[in-house]
Structures are given as structure tokens and as C-alpha cells.
Structure 1
Amino acid sequence: GVFPSLSKRQQTPFTEAVILELLRYISHVPLAVPHSTLENATICGYHIDANATIYINLWALHHDECIWPDPWKFDPGRFLDNDGAILSPLHPKRKRMLAFGAGRRVCLGESLAKNRLYLFVTALLQRLTFVPDDSEAVPDPDPRSYDLGLVLHPKPFKVKAIRRVHDP
């Protein structure tokens, strides 16, 4: 069979949209790396002292109804245009999805992580079909029910991975 390749990424906009929506919906890391102010500042009427520690609440940003209509619905279509193409990184929706931070302090590994996620997801979906294990109930997919820790994660559950049969 053909192995997943980054050269095919532009030809798989829905897969790309699913990955972006996963990053938004789940927001594994709920707070961005903290920043400090260098001087006193006023933003939207709020005074911020010099040397204040600022945390960007990615969880709140990624679930803000003013930015993301129906934010608790998993909808990869948020990242597709009317023709089914992936939205440009300069599109306002893409610019508001900050799973890797933003600006000068954006995660240096963002490109590597997104490339690896794409290859990992496409390889899994190409070779396996995932179905719930009959022995237990599937946990609630709503990230508000996830276990808290350094990163958010769903409660443990079992799933069956069935190898896909490919024509020779």
C-alpha cells in the first residue's frame, strides 16, 4: 500500500480539518506558557502592572461562543471553506486557534508536531478501523468530562483496532 506522506497533505483537507478541530475542541493544554509584562499597561480598560504574570486561557479561548458557534460540538467543517478546502492560516478562525501559542513565543515545535500528527492520524486511519469494545461503555467525548492534570485526557476506555483489508 501507499504510505501517508506530507506531500499528500494538500489533497486531504478534511483530515487536516479534523486535526485542527481536535486541537481546538480538546485543548489538551488548557493554559499557554505564562508571559510577564515589561511595563505597566492598560488593555481594554484593565490596568496590568509591570512584571505581572499573564496566562492565556486557551481552554476559554477555544470554547468562546463569540468566536466558535456551538463550541461544544465537534465540527471539522469550521476549518473548511465553502469548496471544502482548508482555511488559510491567515483566516480569522485559524488565527484564533492557538493550541501552540501565538506571536513571538509560539511553540517552536508547532510545525513538527502538526506534521507528525498528520502522519500518525493518516497512518492509523489508513490501516485500522476503530470500534468501541463491547465490554464497557464509551466515555463521554465532551472534554469538560476529561480528567485534569498537566494535560487533559479522557477517562480510560477500551477500543478495538481492526486491521483494514486492502486489495493487493
Structure 2
Amino acid sequence: MTEILKTLRLFLLLMCHHPEVQTRLKAEVDTIIGTERFPCPEDRKWMPFTQAVMLEIWRYGSQTPLSIPHLCQKNVELDGYLIEAGSVIFPNLYAVHHDEVTWGDPWEFRPERFLNEAGELLPSDHILMQNVIPFSVGKRECPGQDFARSRIFVTMTSLMQRVQVVPPKNSNLPPADPRLYSKAYPMTEPQFECRFLSRENIII
């Protein structure tokens, strides 16, 4: 639950900093969901840009920088390095999500990186999709990730359906750069205020 709240808080901060992304999200919500019903998890498959925003938030923020520890059960050679049996390994998700070789511009918030030229979500075997792993991978991946993904999607789209998120009037908006987050674990983005402006013509 903590990770869901942290993702949504970062979402609000990023929407204040990137109104162009928020505008595009609203357009997709209006087209697919409209204003006469609530969003549901099944809408996600028809909303590639919204999915791209979720992926980019997880990649960019990487609020849980290390995955749970793994025990190496046999000697393994990886890229010329010997990992001896019995070694405890802490997968560095933060490093994976900000590797310049993979991402090119890892410190830029750019959801479009997960879309092809037709605006469709990249296939699951694409190198970028393979390297965004907020819930870890393999047998030790987070068992609650399906719940987290669906709750975050529904909350994000419900907000975009009803309100516009804008910076505060009387205080400065802190930067969203993850390099400035606190070093606590999980990492914490700066505290901030924002405003919700009701959208017009919302029936529900």
C-alpha cells in the first residue's frame, strides 16, 4: 500500500511539472472512458499512453531502489564477473532504470519512450519493456503487483477524469528529479503542495 501511495504522490508532482503530459492523459481518458462512468481496470488495455505514463513514473522515480535479496546457489559468471555460490545479491533497480546505455536520457521524464510511432505500447520483448522492473522479476517478483497496477491505474484515470492538477499559488513547487530525493529507504520525493481544479461537464 505504501508503494501505491508513493507512486500516486509522485504522479501528482510530475503532472504539475508536465502539463503537456496531463493534457494528453485527459484526452485519452475522455476518449476511452468518457464522463458518464467510472474507470475500471479493463480500460487499461485500450489506453497505451496512460500505461506509458505509469511505466515512466516507476522507471523515473525508482522509489524502491533495491529489490529483495537473492541467494546465488551456484557459481555464475556474468559479463566476466564471477558470482560465487552462497553470495547474497541485492538487485539494483535504480541503476537498471537510469542506465544511460539503455535509456539514453534517463533523467528526463518522457512517457513516449514506451510507445512506437503509431502510438501503441511497445511489445513486451522490447529492450525498454524488459528493463523497467519496479516489481522485480522472476520467481521473487512482487506477488501484489497486479493489485498495485490496477489500483494505480484506476486512481490516476479517476483523477484525470475529474480534476486538473496544478502547482500551488503561494509556495514553490520542488523539482521532481529523483537525484534529489531523500536517501531514506524507500526513497522519498520532496514534500509539496498542489491544487485540484474541477473539470467541467463531469456527469458522475
State TM-score, norm by structure 2: 0.78
Q: Does 1:17 align with 2:17?
A: no
2:155 to 112, 120, 130: 120
Question: Mean Cα displacement is larger for which, 82-91 or 24-33?
Answer: 82-91
Q: Deviations 1:29-50 (Å, cap 9, x if unpaired)?
A: 0001110111222222212222
Instruction: Verify the 8 A CA contact 1:139 1:155 in the aligned structure 2.
Output: yes
Query: Which residue pairs with 2:93 in the alignment?
Result: 58
Q: Deviations 1:77-121 (Å, cap 9, x if unpaired)?
A: 111111001112222211111111011211111222111111111
Query: Which residue pairs with 1:26 in the alignment?
Result: 61
Residue identity opposite 1:164 in structure 2: R
Instruction: Verify the 8 A CA contact 2:71 2:87 in the aligned structure 1.
Output: yes
| Secondary structure of 1:140's aligned partner | coil
Provide the rounded CA distance (Å) in 2 between the counterparts of 1:146 and 1:87: 29
Provide the rounded CA distance (Å) in 1 between the counterparts of 2:90 and 2:42: 36
Residue identity opposite 1:155 in structure 2: P
Instruction: Verify the 8 A CA contact 1:139 1:154 in the aligned structure 2.
Output: no
Query: Which residue pairs with 1:3 in the alignment?
Result: 38
More helix by percentage: 2
Query: Which residue pairs with 1:75 in the alignment?
Result: 110
Residue identity opposite 1:129 in structure 2: Q
Query: Which residue pairs with 1:145 in the alignment?
Result: 180
| Secondary structure of 2:57's aligned partner | helix
Provide the rounded CA distance (Å) in 1 between the counterparts of 2:105 and 2:202: 40
Provide the rounded CA distance (Å) in 2 between the counterparts of 1:145 and 1:15: 26
Provide the rounded CA distance (Å) in 1 between the counterparts of 2:194 and 2:142: 32
Q: Does 1:45 align with 2:83?
A: no
In structure 1, list runs of 5 or more residues that go unmatched: none
Question: Mean Cα displacement is larger for which, 64-73 or 103-112?
Answer: 103-112
Question: Mean Cα displacement is larger for which, 60-69 or 143-152?
Answer: 143-152
In structure 2, list runs of 5 or more residues that go unmatched: 1-35
Provide the rounded CA distance (Å) in 1 between the counterparts of 2:134 and 2:151: 15
Instruction: Verify the 8 A CA contact 2:166 2:194 in the aligned structure 1.
Output: yes
Runs of 4+ residues deviating >3 angstroms: none
Cα distance, 1:167 vs. partner? Answer: 5.1
The alignment covers a number of residue pairs equal to: 168
Q: Which has the higher contact order (CA 8 A, sep 6+)?
A: 2
Query: Which residue pairs with 2:197 in the alignment?
Result: 162
